[in-house]
Chain A
Amino acid sequence: MAAAAAFATPLKCTFSTSHNVSGSTRGLHWRKNERSVKRAYRGVITAKIDHKPPPYALEALEPHMSLETFEYHWGKHHRAYVDNLNKQIVGTELDTKSLDEIILATYNKGDLLPPFNNAAQVWNHEFFWESMKPGGGGQPSGELAELIKRDFGSFEAFVSEFKAAAATQFGSGWAWLVYKANRLDVGNAVNPLPSEEDKKLVVVKSPNAINPLVYDYSPLLTIDVWEHAYYLDYQNRRPEYISTFMEKLVSWDAVSLRLEAAKARAAEREREEERERDEYEGNSQTEPQPVEMYLSDTEDSEAD
């Protein structure tokens, strides 16, 4: 809730402070290069994030998610995020980066920079459209089904946990199924006993625009529980929307593909770390020992 309290900044009595960014940009020179903005032809946005359409026609998810919802949700909300993001990053050093990179850079460890909300919402919505398909629903199969069974007990248990997370996200936000590779990669801590068991599927919920990329998780599935996602079709009946999503819209194929990709990424990272560690250990025989984080009399081993 500290984030909520921090958000409610009172404007001063006579002046309002607009987003003042200059204080919080260590490492990221976030200031528009005025010259390059003026050079850009007026009216033409030069930054490159696209407004990707869903992988199906806008009316393809009727009657569970209406054409009208898509026209507004994709056509107005998602489009506005894309346009605003492009306006914000044109002429800055974020202009050439990929969407994922922009998200991670502007997350700024929780002290969100202005492009974060737009960038994250663009990413979230693309992910959301791809999480659904016409004639969706049913059950997952293969490795995904096994992992769900292993980590939640049963598919039904997973569904009820996911539905509960989506229903109890207060205000605007998202609910996610993520693949967590538990690398404890926070810059100064290393998982001392890594094992395959640590990699698991988890349900998380996040407020507003936050997504699990910033926690270094691999998202597999999401549902948008901002009210604009369901208000035209379901008004306040969020649980009904969530149930319909699970029963009729979820694309388990997409989720399985993402799981494979996530596992491949996790394996790749581990191999890289192995390589780095080997190299480092190879070099360190003639160099001074690396600094021990926990200075004590007994020897701490960093890793196996």
Chain B
Amino acid sequence: MSLVTCSSNQFPLSSNVRSSAGPSSNNLRSFFDVSHLGGEQRRHKSRNSRRMSSITAYYGLKSPPYELDALEPYMSQRTLEVHWGAHQRGYVEALNKHLEKNDILYGYTMDELIKVTYNNGNPWPEFNSAAQVWNHDFFWESMQPGGGEMPTLGLLQQIEKDFGSFINFREKFIEAALTSFGSCWVWLVLKREKKCLAIVKTSNAINPLVWNDIPITGLDLWEHAYYLDYKNDRAKYVNTFMDHLVSWDAAAARMARAQAFVNLGEPKIPVA
């Protein structure tokens, strides 16, 4: 069962779909028209292909749920422009290029695509692109203008249950972020089997979906995420994220959804 997250980007096969999912992908306005299902997929290039790039869009570049300058001064507009507009766009285009070549992957949801291409630790080339697209969508939604502070209600209770206190969790999260080496991500996840929250570090493009865990919030520790604003000062970046950027509302929403899949113990009225 794939977890439906708020960042699934799949375009339905059987309809004419505009690839722009909103105000975002202005550059990928290619229409595509899939006339057949079941084995035979014909992808017609856009009628306007002379003007646009000739990439057939399976996935689009989803824009963050706020303006690019909304996270100033903690994350500058320039960072968002390069990080979202260049890096993530590059991952999306790479993913689309891969999918063009490989029919067998057509039709998967993003979550399924990640799990399949992870191939239990021996990933296919598509994995890096797919996972990075998902990771970045998740990351934008994990932040909000006026973020930070503390979680509330059920999420706070669960954190206190699994980490002792919110302060302790925050310390552990920051420690995990500062002790990770190279390009990586740090996540707060809900572990399905253990039925508790945990902090997980992953390297490069890996994310907790491949172990079937449910991510609640995440932090991008690739240098491109903070270099323009903080240069080498990773500690300041991580502290700023925890103090001013992390969106506990989004985390609470994911936690609420996760409770539909993981039985956390005594029957609880869902957290909202």
Residues of A within 8 A of B (CB): 1-2, 4-5, 7-14, 16, 18-19, 72, 76-77, 80, 117, 170-173, 207-209, 226-228, 231-232, 235-236
Contacts and interface: CB of A to CB of B under 8 A. Distances in A.
B224 A227 contact: yes
B179, B181, B222: which has the most chain A beta carbons within 10 Å?
B181
A16 B199 contact: yes
Contacts of B82: 235-236
A94 B55 CA distance: 54
Contacts of A170: 128, 204-205
A72 B204 CA distance: 23
B49 interface: no
Could you tell me the dominant secondary structure of chain B's interface residues? mixed
Contacts, number: 101
B223 A228 contact: yes
Nearest to A76: B232
Given A171-B222, A227-B222, A235-B86, 14 more contacts: A8-B206, A11-B201, A13-B162, A13-B163, A13-B191, A13-B194, A14-B163, A16-B199, A170-B205, A172-B182, A207-B182, A227-B224, A232-B228, A236-B86
B183 A16 contact: no
24 contacts: A1-B121, A1-B122, A4-B121, A5-B121, A7-B201, A11-B201, A13-B191, A13-B194, A13-B196, A13-B197, A18-B175, A18-B179, A19-B179, A72-B232, A77-B232, A80-B232, A117-B181, A171-B205, A171-B222, A209-B182, A227-B224, A228-B232, A235-B86, A235-B228
Contacts of A171: 182-184, 203-205, 222
A208 B206 CA distance: 15
Nearest to B181: A117
Contacts of B228: 231-232, 235
B219 interface: no
Interface string B170-210: 00100110010111100001010010111111111110000
